[in-house]
Chain A
Amino acid sequence: MKDNIPDGLRELLEQAAGAGQAPWRTLLRPGDWLLLLCCAALVATSFPLLWRGGVADRAIVKRDGQLVTELALNVARKYEVTGAIGTTVIEVQPGRARVLSDPGPRQYCVQQGWLTRANAVAICAPNHVTLQLAGRGGAHAGYDTINY
């Protein structure tokens, strides 16, 4: 097979493959290796750091737009809010929160299930109660349920 290639073409191919040149690794000096390793480590750590932004760390419960309480999302607990037509029960577990029960007729906020992302909102309109998650960087970081 090798003999079938004309001499001119073979020479060209060998040149393209780097014949007669210093191998690639000799082009790197000690400091280059060090810098490349440092940069690779920095880039690798930037992935989790920057993609953690959407994680919620507290739940904000409001009634009629007024803040009722803020619950940290690190311990499991239940919280009851008395609204316009009854009692809404909020359940918190590490990293997530949901509306466990609500007196509203259509149960939209209950059926939404667990909220996990920062700025996700469950609105129990009949009872005038809202549950919102908040993360790092305040209420304006990232998207909320409505403009997701």
Chain B
Amino acid sequence: MPAMTPSTIELPVTADDYRIARYAAAAIALSVAETALPSPLPGIKPGLANIIVLVVLARYGWRDAAWVSLLRVVAGSLVIGQFLAPGFFLALAGALCSLAVLAAAQHLPPRFFGPVSASVLAAFAHIGGQLLLARAWLVPHDGVFYLLPLFATAALLFGTINGLVAARLLAKPSTEPPAP
């Protein structure tokens, strides 16, 4: 039996990769834990993983936040067995919309606007993206927009709470473990 040839392909892993992986893992854990919570209406949930995205956005910028958010959507849906199911595409649409809004929101003057503003805006973008995709694809009827007041109320409430939690986490000094 011939000896195994050692792999010639080597993927260099940077400190960035470790950091993104660590935050993405936290976001995935939160979004999986959240599926255990009962929800009054499909689509209304706290979106706790967005706390991690907000923290990453404030500390490391939009590129890292986008990585964490999209890894969370893909890996989170794999864990709960929803990958490529309708819920996955709704989550993806919401995440993409909220990332687009966060890209703009990070240019707000930091003296007046903190993580709470970013969180609330991202929450509204999230439901906006989900509702538009739902209208275009899943429920081709304007009736879905009758639910908008409920979704908007939830977005305002959870956006504020998540923003406050992110602001409190950001107020502490970062305890970053060294990359292995």
* A interface list, Cβ under 8 A from B: 21-22, 24, 27-32, 35-36, 39-40, 42-43, 46-47, 50-51, 53, 137, 141-142
Contacts and interface: CB of A to CB of B under 8 A. Distances in A.
B108 A31 contact: yes
B137 interface: no
Given A39-B120, A39-B156, A42-B152, A30 B112 contact: yes
Nearest to A28: B116
Contacts of B145: 50
A9 B29 CA distance: 26
B111 A29 contact: yes
A50 B160 contact: no
A94 to B, nearest CB: 24
A35 B113 contact: yes
Given A36-B120, A141-B142, A43 B114 contact: no
Contacts of A50: 145-146, 148-149
Contacts of A31: 108-109, 112-114, 117
Interface string B152-180: 11001000100110011001000000000
29 contacts: A21-B171, A22-B168, A24-B164, A27-B114, A27-B164, A27-B167, A28-B114, A28-B164, A29-B111, A29-B112, A31-B112, A32-B116, A35-B120, A36-B116, A36-B156, A36-B160, A39-B124, A39-B156, A42-B152, A43-B152, A43-B153, A46-B148, A46-B149, A46-B152, A50-B145, A50-B148, A51-B146, A53-B146, A137-B142
Contacts of B171: 21-22, 27
Interface of B: 108-109, 111-117, 120-121, 124, 142-143, 145-146, 148-149, 152-153, 156, 160, 163-164, 167-168, 171
A40 B156 contact: yes
A90 B164 CA distance: 59
Nearest to B143: A142
A101 B61 CA distance: 71
A12 B27 CA distance: 25
A137 B112 CA distance: 41
Nearest to B154: A43
A32 B159 CA distance: 12
